[in-house]
Structure 1
Amino acid sequence: MAGITSEQIRFLKEQNIHPKFVFNADGLSKSEYRVIMKELNKLVAYNVTPCQKEGHTLRTRSGHCCQCNTATLGFQKRNDSGGIVYIAGSLTGELVKIGFSKAVEVRTESLNRTKYAGFNDWKILYALKSKNAGRIETKANSLLHEYAFSVDYEHDGHWQDSYETYHCAYSKAKEFVEKAFKSENYEIDIERNSPTEKYEFRNLKKL
């Protein structure tokens, strides 16, 4: 992640902020990065205007300095916890993605419009709604780490990393999503469960 310091990386680790929730806002105004970050479910922006108090350059998507006031991160994470967990697939990339969203149809459009991970044929195959969606999504992505395939791609003129893409079959991704909510007895409502034979890709573990 170009432009982020070792001190900032250490701070994010201390606050349990995974790199997938961090956004490069270089060259963007607060009003611009706020919209993009909300769409991509990002929590912290770097390469932003330094705060007046200490000159910090990590902000929440609302524009608050999260280094001066770490409580803003807790509020942001709690505020984002309820919603939808989805599994999307790209036939061209032979990849699946587990993500979090507030609205499935909006996310489908944005994945393809922004060519997430470099592909524009994403289809949402499975979606569940839960007040614990944020926790389910984080747990499922953690369980799937062996199949992770990170890709650099361009989004609105800025390079971003895809942290939630996997070289595995749809059924494998679904297995871990189900394990994530069943292990904690979270209440869920299935909103989408599509036929997926074409998305049964090879399961390729990281070397």
Structure 2
Amino acid sequence: MTIKHLLTKEQETFLKKHKISSELLFDAEGGDITEDLQKSMTEADKVIACNTANCSENDTHTLKTIGGFCPQCDTTKIAAALRELKPGYIYISGSRRGGLIKIGSSNEGKSKTLTLNLSTARDGGYDDWELLFSAKTTTLGRVERMFQDKLSEYKAAYQHEKSGKLQNGGELYRCAYLKAKEAYLSLQEEQQFEFTQISEKKHIISEYQFKNLKIKSSTAVTEA
């Protein structure tokens, strides 16, 4: 049975509309997105799972991105999934005023960082973001997803304003630059990722060694 036989007519139309090739699909065999399934998808260079467990919001939806989101419910998750296998720059930036570290990505090495200081993209409500580290990779979305997973226990619940609207700042962390750099090096060793055009502002990183605050609950944090 081919992948296409697992799709409904609605899903075929949806995938065609969003230009998602069937070559990027993986048969979840009725399961949900687990670490094992993510690993299998990564090894096979697939980014969208089909034939998954039903979506909690709509039981006719059986597609999931490799990140575990239903692309039919939230089409904004499609871009992140398709970025898994595209080249670009992963970066670490910091805000001294906010005591925050940001893990982000960009198709261009500098343009993304410049937008951080614009009034349309005030991450966490701060405009003093400084690019601290960047490196080019051929699997941008994959690196970004795994990088952020490694720092998930330090994730900060902040919002930022973009185009006049508040959005969740899912890439912000309450940790030191050193903690983020350690996560990057660990990921590089474990996954054998290759990075080029590596740049680090060693002369200022000492100013971004914030406290590492692990999230214990929605209201409490603990220093690590």
| TM-score, scaled to structure 1 | 0.66
Specify the alignment match of 1:171 in structure 2. Answer: 178
Give the letter aligned to residue 206 of structure 1. I
Counterparts of residues 111-150 of structure 1 (less than 5 Å): 111-113=116-118, 114-150=121-157
Cα distance in structure 1, aligned partners of 2:63 and 2:182: 28
Equivalent residue in structure 2 for 1:185, among 187, 192, 198: 192
Cα distance in structure 2, aligned partners of 1:144 and 1:199: 16
Equivalent residue in structure 2 for 1:94, among 82, 92, 99: 99
In structure 2, the residue corresponding to 1:92 is in which secondary structure? coil
Give the letter aligned to residue 117 of structure 2. N
Identity %: 29
Please state how far the C-alpha of 1:172 moved relative to its aligned partner.
0.4
Greater RCO (Cα-Cα under 8 Å, separation 6 or more): 1
Specify the alignment match of 1:69 in structure 2. Answer: none
Matched, 1:162 2:212: no
Structure 1 pair 11/122, CA: closer, same or farther in 2 (3 Å)? farther
Aligned length: 158
Matched, 1:201 2:207: no
Alpha-carbon RMSD across the aligned residues, in angstroms, is 3.1
Specify the alignment match of 2:113 in structure 1. Answer: 108
Q: 1:137–1:177: 8 Å Cα contact kept in structure 2?
A: no
Gaps of 5+ in 2: 1-54, 217-224
Gaps of 5+ in 1: 23-43, 45-55, 67-71
Describe the superposition over 1:115-146 as per-residue Cα deviations: whole angstroms up to 9, x where unpaired: 11211010110001110232121111101111
In structure 2, the residue corresponding to 1:141 is in which secondary structure? helix
Please state how far the C-alpha of 1:18 moved relative to its aligned partner.
5.8
Asked which structure has the greater CA Rg, the reply is: 2
| TM-score, scaled to structure 2 | 0.61
Specify the alignment match of 1:15 in structure 2. Answer: 65
Please state how far the C-alpha of 1:108 moved relative to its aligned partner.
1.2
**Which runs of at least 4 in structure 1 moved beyond 2 Å after TM superposition?**
10-19, 56-61, 76-79
Please state how far the C-alpha of 1:170 moved relative to its aligned partner.
0.2
In structure 2, the residue corresponding to 1:93 is in which secondary structure? coil
In structure 2, the residue corresponding to 1:120 is in which secondary structure? coil
